[in-house]
Amino acid sequence: MSENFYDILGVPKDAPQEKIKKAYRKLARKWHPDINPGNKEAEQKFKEISLAYDCLGNEEKRKLYDEFGQEGLQSGFDAEKARQYSQWSSFQQAGRPHAGEKFGRYQSYEDIFGDIFGTGMGRGGGFRSSMGGKGRDVQHDMTIDLISALRGFETELAMQKVKVCSGCQGSGTDPSSPITTCSYCGGSGRQDVAEGPMHFTKPCPHCHGHGQTGKPCPTCGGSGQVLGTEKIRVVIPQGVKEGSKVRVAGKGEPGINGGKPGDLFLIIHLKPHTFLKREGDDLLMELPVTVREAMAGGTIDIPTIDGQVKVKVPPGSQSGQTLRLKGKGATNVKTKERGNLMVKLIIKVPKTDDKEILETVKKMDGLYDKDVRSGIRI
């Protein structure tokens, strides 16, 4: 994709995130494949819009893109190494001697260059080409209820994502077209990437280092990738919480030129529960009790994520008093240990006009050893 991401979304380079999101949503509604069934142009346009927003909608990716372009978004790209290479390049353009110069932890510009582009210098000075590139990781938000998060579950997701084109198996070349020598690299499979006293090359991006090309695949337009829907089986472990990342290996974007696919990361968001609240690995619950249960004590049933359990309420319990149920809280994803269920007692007073009952409770005031509001001061 040669078009600038900002141009694709129709926003200026200094556009705030809210404007970028608004532009993406507007374009996505217009070009979504469900709204344009069978329209290959709309499908390709939607893919470009999605890729542009995947970059510009992420602050870290956007910074890399602004500084290095699409090269900065490639899997394994190291910004620091690229800056060190740029530093060496500036030395050369200024006419300074490079012998003995050090750039960061690198002894020479060959070390820097080899690390940036995934190549190494062989003993004879030739590059060991790394033709395949790992696909980019993909992130998706997933909203689930608290109980499902506490118990864990398996599910199947139908996700719209970039995948390998079935027409060309990811090569980007029409399999029925004749193969010709690449006009960009003259069949060498390499392209010059820097000027100076040494000759530097990288795999030709047009033929992916093969030195030969054919007509672009009509299915994917030569990109080797298409937008499609894939059903993915995922396991959500017990105890995930708000913001947890669940990794699904190999379900990100397909690799480049036969490289390994990236990973899918599900970002978990939790719906609020009516009665339960999570704090750390503990669960908090407010539980109503009667006046009799609070005064005389008794055994009551309390619902937990493991089912009903019987708990003793101590005689003379006060409203706001907390009972601790050890090991009935949330599971810690890393340690597999469980927190506690903290049950806060709330005394519920019945409504009645019965004079006899009201007279009885009036007599109860004599049981207090002091004014219950004596300690309240402002």
Q: What secondary structure does DSSP assign to 209-275, as a single string?
A: TSSEE-PBPTTTTTSSEEEEEEEEEEEE-TT--TT-EEEETT-SSPPBTTPPP--EEEEEEEEPPSS
Angstrom distance (rounded) from CA 63 to CA 95: 30
CATH 2.60.260.20 fits 132-178+214-271, yes or no: yes
For 189, other C-beta atoms within 10 Å of its C-beta total: 19
Buried b (16+ CB within 10 A) or exposed e, 334-371: eeeebbbbbbebebeeeeeeeeeeeeeeeeeeeeeeee
Higher pLDDT, 260 or 301: 301
Residue-wise pLDDT for 300-328, tens only, equals 999 999 999 999 999 999 999 999 999 99
In the chain, which residues fall in CATH 2.60.260.20? 132-178+214-271, 276-367
User: Taking the complete model, does pTM exceed 0.75, yes or no?
Assistant: no
Residue 110: the pLDDT is 41
- Summarised one tens digit per residue, pLDDT across range 268-282 is 999 999 999 999 999
CA gyration radius, the chain: 32
Written as one letter, the residue type at 167 is G
Residue 74 has pLDDT above 80, yes or no: no
CB 229 within 8 A of CB 223: no
Other CB atoms within 10 A of residue 273 CB: 15
Q: Tell me which architecture the domain covering 276-367 has in CATH.
A: Sandwich (2.60)
d(CA 79, CA 320): 55
List the structure tokens of 305: 């994520």
59-68 helix and 79-93 helix, angle to the nearest 10 degrees: 20
- Residues 173-193 have pLDDT tens digits of 888 888 888 888 888 878 776
Amino acid at 208: H
Whether pLDDT at 369 is above 60: yes
Range among 49-63, 246-260, 327-341 rated most confident: 327-341
